[in-house]
Structure 1
Amino acid sequence: MARVRYGARTEAEIAAARTASAKLPDIWSTGVVALWESDPDAVAAVLPPPLKPTGRPLVRVNISKVQLPGYPLGAGSFAVAAAHDGVEGWYPLVMPMTHERALIGGREVFGEPKKLGEVVVEREGLVVRASLARHGIAFVEVRGAVTERLPLPEPGQKTDFYFKFLPGVDGSGFDAEPVLVHCVRHEKVRKLERVTGDVVLRESMYDPVADLPVRRLVEITLGEKTSDQRGRVVERVDAQALLPYIHQRYDDSRQILDGPPEGSV
C-alpha cells in the first residue's frame, strides 16, 4: 500500500523533522519599524494581568518582508511596551501574516495573536511606504524617506509576551488554564537606515489600533535583520482576570458596541 501521509509518523521521522527545524539557516527580512509614545492610560488599558506598563507608554509597529526560501512572507506586529517579573518587553496586540503557514504555528505553539492580513513594504529610491491591512482597511501606514545610514547595533535580545489559551467548548471560560509565555528573540542586523516620516492609524472595528495614538514619534527605521526565537511558559495566569481581554485575539465586530473609556467626554 502506498504511504498514507495523514497516517502516524514513526519515531525516526518525528526526530528527523525536529532536527531539521533546529538547523534552519539565517532567514533575513527587510522591514520598517516605527516607535512612538502614546497615551499612558490607553497602553495600560490593553495589558492583561500580570503584565504591567513600563516607565514609558511606547508603541511599536514592525512591518516586514521575510525571505523564506521559495515562500516569501509578509509579517507585521503592533505591540505595546510591557513588563513582567522584572523583564521588560513587548505585548503584541495583532500580528498580521500573509500566509496561513506562519499564522497557525505561531498561534498554536506560542499563543501569538496572528491573523491573516495584507503586509506591504515598498521602497522607491529614498521613498518608503509600509502598511498593515485587514478587511480592506490599511489600519497602519508608515510613510517617509530615508535620510541617513545608521551604525549597526550589536546583536541583541528582545522579549515578547504572549498568552496561550483555549476558549471553552461550551462558549464560556477556557478548556485549560491559560499560561503566560516569554518569547525571546536573538536578533542580528546587517543594514539600518533612518527614515523621516509619519505614522497614520486608521479606524477599524476589527483592529482598533487608533486607540493608541501617536503622541510623540520617537523614530522610524528601515533595516535588514535575522532572528531566532525560543519560548517558555513562565506562569499560569488567573483565567477570570484574562477573560475580559481574549477578544483581542479574534475579529469581534461587537467591539463597535463598546462604551467610551471611563472619564471621557
Structure 2
Amino acid sequence: MPKVRYGPRDLEAVAQARESAAKLPDLWSTGVHAVWETDPDALAQVLPPPLKPGAKPHVRATINHVDIFGTPLGAAAISVACAHGDEEGWYSLVMPMTTERSLIGGREVFGEPKKLAEVTVERGGDAVTAKVTRHGVTFAEIRGRIGDELPTPAPYVKTDWYLKFLPAVDGHGFDADPLLVRCLRTEKTRVLYAVDGEVVLRESALDPIADLPVRRLVEITFGEKTSDQRGEVVARLDPQAILPYVHQRYDDPAQVHDSVEDPDAH
C-alpha cells in the first residue's frame, strides 16, 4: 500500500528531525543594526504587563540578510528596551521576514511577532541601505556610509521577551492563559563597522513604528553576526490585561476571526 504523506510519521523520524535541527551550524547574517533614544512615554505605552520600561528609552532595529544553504532570507526585528523585574531586555514589536518557513516557527513556538515583508540590505562600496517594506510602505529604513572597522565584542547573551497566546475559537478572549516567553540568544560577531547615517521611519497604519520617533541616534553599525536561541515560559498572564495588546500581532484584529466586511453594508 502506498505511503500517505498526510499520515502519521513514526517516532524515530520525529526524533531524527529534532536531532538534525539541534546540530545546525552557525548561520551568519549580514546587516545593519541601529539603536535610538525615543519618547519615554510612547515607549511605555507599547509594553504589556508585567513588562516595564528599561533604564533607557531605547529602540533597537536590525535589518539582515542571511544565506541559508543557498536560500536567501531577509530578516528584521524592531524592539524596545524593557525590564521584567530586575532583568533588562527587549520586547519585539514586529519581526519582518521574507519567507513563510522563517515566520512559522518563531510565531508558533516562541510567540515572536513575525510578519511577511520585503526585507533588503544593499551595499555599494561604502554606502549601505537597509529597508523593511510591507503593503507598499517602507516604514523603516537605515542608510549611511560604512566607516572605521570596530573591535568585535565578545559573545554576549541578549534577552528578548514575547507574548504567546491563542485567540479563542468563539471570538472572546483566549483559549488558554497568555504566556510570557523569555528567550536568550548568545550573539557572536565576526566583523563590525561603524556607520555614519540615519534612521528613517515612515507612517504606516499597519506597522506604526513612526510612533517611536528618533529623538537621539545612539549608534548604527554594519556587520556579520550569528546567534543561538533558547526559550522558556516564565509566567502565565492575566488575559484581561493582555487583550488590549493583541492588535500588535495583527494588521487588523478582525483577521483573527477571518472577518470580512460586507461591501454593500455602506
Fold conserved between structures, TM > 0.5 = yes
Q: Show structure 1 runs of 5+ residues with no match.
A: 255-265
Contact 1:205-1:253 at 8 Å conserved across structures: no
1:95-134 superposed matches below 5 A? 95-134=95-134
How many angstroms apart in 2 are the aligned matches of 1:84 and 1:67? Answer: 34
SS in 1 for 2:53: coil
> 1:46-87 deviations in whole A, cap 9, x for unaligned?
000000001110001100001211221100001000110221
CA distance 1:178–1:199, change in 2 (3 Å): same
Structure 2 CA distance for aligned equivalents of residues 22 and 12 of structure 1: 15
Deviation, 1:253, is 8.0
State the partner residue of 1:85.
85
1:136 aligned onto 2:136: yes
**Aligned ranges for residues 246-257 of structure 1 at < 5 Å?**
246-252=246-252
Counterpart CA distance in 1 for 2:200 and 2:220 is 13
1:94 paired with 2:107, answer: no
Instruction: Provide Cα deviations, 1:67-122, integer angstroms capped at 9, x if missing partner.
Output: 21122110000100011022111101011000000101110000000000000101
CA distance in 2 between counterparts of 1:210 and 1:172 reads 30
8 Å CA contact 1:206–1:253 kept in 2: the answer is no
Whole-angstrom distance in 2 between the partners of 1:202 and 1:31: 20
Q: Which structure 2 residues correspond to residues 62-211 of structure 1 after superposition, within 5 A?
A: 62-211=62-211
Distance 1:30 1:6 in 2: 37
Distance 1:227 1:2 in 2: 42
State the aligned residue count. 254
Q: Partners of 1:110 and 1:56 in 2: how far apart? A: 26
Identity of aligned residues (%): 65
Query: 8 Å contact 1:27–1:226 — kept in the other structure?
Result: yes
Superposed CA RMSD in Å reads 1.0
Would you say the 8 A contact 2:247–2:253 is kept in 1? no
* Alpha-carbon separation, structure 2, partners of 1:184 and 1:220: 23
Q: Secondary structure at the match of 2:229?
A: strand
2:185 and 2:4 mapped to 1: Cα distance? 37
Q: Which moved more, 1:83-92 or 1:104-113?
A: 83-92
Match of 1:259 in 2: none
Structure 2 match to 1:220: 220
Cα shift at 1:5: 1.9
**Displacement, 1:159?**
0.8
Aligned to 1:262: none
Native 8 Å contact 1:156 1:187 kept in 2: yes
Q: CA deviation at 1:182?
A: 0.3
Q: Normalising by the residue count of structure 2, what TM-score does the alignment of the two structures yield?
A: 0.94
Q: Which amino acid aligns with 2:180?
A: L
Aligned equivalents of 1:224, 1:4: Cα separation in 2: 43
- Do the aligned partners of 1:63 and 1:75 also contact (CA within 8 Å) in 2? yes
Shift in alpha-carbon separation, 1:23–1:253, aligned structure 2, 3 A: closer
Corresponding residue for 1:263? none
Residue type of the alignment partner of 2:96: P
Assess if the C-alpha contact under 8 Å between 1:77 and 1:94 holds in 2.
yes
Per the alignment, residue 18 of structure 1 pairs with 18
Q: Distance in 1 between matches of 2:76 and 2:132?
A: 7
Contact 1:74 1:118 survives alignment (8 Å): yes
Could you tell me which amino acid in structure 2 is paired with residue 221 of structure 1? T
Contact 2:128 2:146 in 1 (8 A): yes
Structure 1 CA distance for aligned equivalents of residues 89 and 73 of structure 2 = 24
CA distance in 2, matches of 1:55, 1:28: 30
Aligned match of 2:263: none
**SS of the residue 2:12 aligns to:** helix
Counterpart in 1 of 2:261?
Answer: none
Partner Cα distance (1:129, 1:202) in 2: 15
User: 1:236, CA displacement in angstroms?
Assistant: 0.3
Q: Distance in 2 between matches of 1:103 and 1:238?
A: 26
What residue is the counterpart of 2:259 in the other structure?
none
